[in-house]
A and B are shown apart, each in its own frame.
Chain A
Amino acid sequence: DAGVIQSPRHEVTEMGQEVTLRCKPISGHDYLFWYRQTMMRGLELLIYFNNNVPIDDSGMPEDRFSAKMPNASFSTLKIQPSEPRDSAVYFCASSLKGINSPLHFGNGTRLTVT
């Protein structure tokens, strides 16, 4: 099993640009989570999906953030327009049975907005 695959690994962009982060969960996992990690705020849950349906997006910081899961094997997190304070590591994770089973994290995307 290849695990959770995220792309790109690193993204450097200028303020105001659109950023799209991508995630391929582990096949057969019904839950997908997007987390953001910063030194100040630690690991924050942004949104999670169950069977491709967004269940809770209360962690999405602003309307500039949006996430989609068009099918069971692909999800995107989009920031438009990006701002310097969005700089962080964004992790995608998937699990078999939600939060009562282990979360498998991808390698993350390190986003830098200048």
Chain B
Amino acid sequence: GQQVMQIPQYQHVQEGEDFTTYCNSSTTLSNIQWYKQRPGGHPVFLIQLVKSGEVKKQKRLTFQFGEAKKNSSLHITATQTTDVGTYFCAGPNNQGGKLIFGQGTELSVKP
């Protein structure tokens, strides 16, 4: 079946270092969404990308959607302790009714 895969599963960084998580889909996506879940919390929507090759920025976060609309990335510049959490990408399934979540990348930041 359709899969959305994320790497790495875990990332430990020193505060101030950059961080990138990658998302790959087995099929072409109409859009991709990114969510952040703090420890003990619930997923919170960050952004949605729709266009091929789209790049969007939110302060220190940069999101990209691949040209083939099968992959995406989230890059955080100069991480802070407030960035700690698990970052999920999610894309619609082929039938368009379900949002399939990747397994997430857990980010820890050492002060």
Q: Interface on A for B, CB 8 Å cutoff?
A: 33, 42-43, 45, 48, 55-56, 59, 91, 93, 98-108
Contacts and interface: CB of A to CB of B under 8 A. Distances in A.
B98 A45 contact: yes
Contacts of B98: 45, 48, 56, 59, 99
Interface residues of B, number: 21
B43 A91 contact: yes
Contacts of A56: 97-98
B51 to A, nearest CB: 14
A102 B100 CA distance: 13
Interface string B74-104: 0000000000000010001000111111111
B44 interface: yes
Nearest to B45: A102
Contacts of B48: 101-102
Contacts of A106: 42
A103 B31 CA distance: 14
B108 interface: no
| 9 residue pairs, one from A and one from B, having the closest CB atoms | A102-B45, A43-B101, A105-B42, A99-B99, A42-B103, A99-B92, A105-B43, A45-B98, A108-B42
A94 B88 CA distance: 17
A105 B97 contact: no
A11 B104 CA distance: 25
Contacts of A45: 98-100
Contacts of B92: 99-100
Contacts of A101: 48
Interface string B29-46: 011010100000111110
Contacts of B104: 42-43
